[in-house]
């Protein structure tokens, strides 16, 4: 390992499918070692994982980092949001964790929304309208369907809490991840006693919410880890808040993440509360807020259209008057859970490449509509749109976002932004710095800036018109048999 200019820190990204670890020079942001190990998700009735797999994957990823991990002075864990981890009196999982994308609790989400004052109550109290992803709905499902497991539970944790707790031996979380549970009140920044009482969850089972910049603990004596005993452990946070740290976001800087699902978010100094449910009013990991909107159909849906057409994903052609709404898995934004894809305006002279461009246009239209709701009214409309995620380096995605947004687009060269954000948080507890300022010092958002072009208002209006006219049809459940 080459000599570092500053102390080394470790940032962890424990996602749905794998755990990644980066060892980073806290002075320069240079990544000096990396490791990655997979874990599995059940493919049965729901989406579940054994939390012990996350720990094993973390240990393996750290082993791959070699001596560099042993030299680290601090560590932080970013993790998948919302998952319900239930532990017994020995700290062992009562059952596999219910993950964010386990939708079995949708009936509980509807019921809790109705029983406690409707969407407006939840938006004002917690910052977000309930959906099946939120942890409180999963606890309600567990209490209803597996009451013995609920009774055996002596501690309730989120995925990043579980890993942080195994590092320190203590029960902690942070405001960013807590804000995705549905039982943390964003106005008081404390657990909501009324909601917890309603779902029968003892607040004593929940972790302490560590303040931004506070040390969560130190690494306890463990033979599984390469860390020295006493290595500082930062609070950690959820994956979206960690990515925001990794980009060093300032308030009003817009982000669009192109993955299997698409997200748009920005840091805000105003506490969000959207009763429509489009914007989730998450907290960030610093003390501000992270309003975020999500679409279900992004790169995977567009790639599927390309496959159906027998085209490479970049084989788009201009000049299309066709509208393709790629809602292949239903859609969350706009809220059309029963929708399927819709094609409108097909002509004899329509080409396959124009159809594919239509799919890109439909996916980006949904994200830009959500972005308008995420951004504060005083956000700078000329600020570059930071484009991240698996699709961000695709020319067709870049050109579609440019044309439909009318903004300059910046594509950061840094990868593994969740792990980098966790590393910046670890560096912050060492130096006392704001972790977003650490990431800016590391220049993580650096990358080519694509100049703005005139916004394609005609295409935006056409898609909006088709969506409006077709909404009643899209809302009907489709028989898949």
The residues assigned a catalytic role are 239
- Choose among 2, 6, 4, 10: nearest CA to 64: 10
Region label for 411, one of left (φ > 0), alpha (ψ between -120 and 50) or beta (otherwise): beta
8 A C-beta contact, residue 480 and residue 443: no
8 A C-beta contact, residue 451 and residue 410: no
Please give the helix or strand (H or E) that residue 427 lies within, else none: helix 417-431
Spatial separation of the C-alpha atoms in residues 341 and 325, rounded to whole Å? 5
Neighbour tally for 452: CB within 10 Å: 16
Strands 74-79 and 8-14: parallel
Spatial separation of the C-alpha atoms in residues 165 and 235, rounded to whole Å? 10
8 A C-beta contact, residue 372 and residue 411: no
| Backbone phi and psi for residue 285, each to the nearest 5 degrees, phi listed first | -90, 5
Spatial separation of the C-alpha atoms in residues 233 and 168, rounded to whole Å? 7
8 A C-beta contact, residue 425 and residue 242: yes
Q: CA 327, 330, 335, 336 torsion: positive or negative?
A: positive
SS (H, E, C) 29-96: CCEEEEEEEECCCCCCCCCEECHHHHHHHHHHHHHHHCHHHHCCCEEEEEECCCCEEEECCCCCECCC
Q: Where are the alpha helices (DSSP H) in 223-298?
A: 239-247
Spatial separation of the C-alpha atoms in residues 123 and 68, rounded to whole Å? 44
Neighbour tally for 89: CB within 10 Å: 9
Spatial separation of the C-alpha atoms in residues 183 and 180, rounded to whole Å? 8
Spatial separation of the C-alpha atoms in residues 38 and 24, rounded to whole Å? 21
8 A C-beta contact, residue 421 and residue 244: yes
CA-atom Rg of the chain in angstroms: 22
What's the half-sphere exposure (Cβ side, CA atoms, 13 Å) at 196? 15
């Amino acid at each position: 390992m080459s000599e570092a200019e500053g102390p080394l820190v470790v940032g962890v990204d424990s996602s749905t499918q794998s755990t990644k670890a980066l060892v980073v020079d806290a002075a320069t942001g240079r990544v000096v070692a990396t490791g990655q190990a997979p874990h599995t998700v059940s493919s049965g009735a729901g989406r579940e994982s054994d939390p012990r797999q996350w720990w094993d994957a973390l240990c393996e990823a750290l082993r791959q980092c070699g001596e560099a991990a042993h030299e680290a002075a601090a560590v932080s864990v970013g993790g998948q949001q919302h998952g319900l981890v239930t532990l017994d009196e020995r700290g062992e999982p009562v059952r596999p964790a219910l993950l964010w994308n386990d939708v079995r609790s949708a009936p509980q989400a509807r019921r809790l929304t109705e029983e406690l004052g409707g969407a407006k109550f939840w938006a004002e109290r917690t910052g977000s309208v309930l959906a099946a992803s939120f942890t409180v709905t999963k606890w309600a499902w567990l209490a209803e369907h597996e009451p013995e497991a609920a009774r055996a539970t002596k501690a309730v944790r989120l995925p990043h809490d579980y890993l942080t707790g195994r590092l320190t031996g203590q029960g902690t979380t942070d405001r960013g991840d807590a804000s995705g549970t549905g039982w943390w009140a964003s106005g008081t920044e404390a657990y909501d006693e009324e909601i917890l009482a309603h779902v029968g969850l003892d607040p004593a089972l929940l972790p302490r919410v560590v303040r931004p910049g506070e040390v969560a603990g130190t690494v306890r004596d463990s033979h599984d880890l390469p860390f020295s005993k006493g290595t500082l452990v930062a609070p950690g946070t959820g994956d979206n808040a960690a990515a925001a740290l990794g980009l060093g976001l300032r308030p009003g800087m817009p982000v669009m993440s192109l993955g299997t699902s698409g997200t748009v978010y920005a840091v805000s100094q105003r506490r969000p509360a959207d009763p429509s449910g489009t914007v989730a009013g998450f907290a960030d990991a610093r003390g501000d807020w992270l309003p975020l909107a999500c679409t279900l159909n992004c790169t995977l849906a567009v790639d599927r259209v390309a496959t159906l057409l027998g085209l490479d994903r970049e084989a788009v052609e201009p000049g299309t008057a066709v509208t393709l709404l790629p809602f292949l898995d239903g859609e969350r934004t706009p809220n059309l859970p029963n929708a399927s894809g819709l094609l409108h305006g097909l002509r004899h002279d329509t080409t396959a490449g124009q159809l594919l461009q239509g799919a890109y246009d439909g996916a980006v239209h949904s994200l830009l509509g959500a972005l308008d709701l995420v951004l504060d009214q005083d956000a700078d409309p000329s600020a570059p749109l930071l484009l991240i995620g698996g699709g961000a380096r695709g020319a067709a995605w870049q050109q579609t976002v440019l044309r439909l947004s009318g903004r300059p687009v910046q594509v950061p060269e840094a990868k593994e932004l969740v792990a980098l954000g966790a590393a910046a948080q670890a560096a912050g507890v060492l130096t006392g710095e704001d972790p977003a300022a650490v990431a800016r010092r590391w220049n993580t958002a650096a990358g080519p800036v694509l100049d703005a072009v005139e916004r394609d208002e005609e295409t935006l209006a056409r898609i909006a018109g088709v969506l409006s006219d077709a909404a009643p049809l899209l809302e009907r459940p489709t028989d898949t048999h």
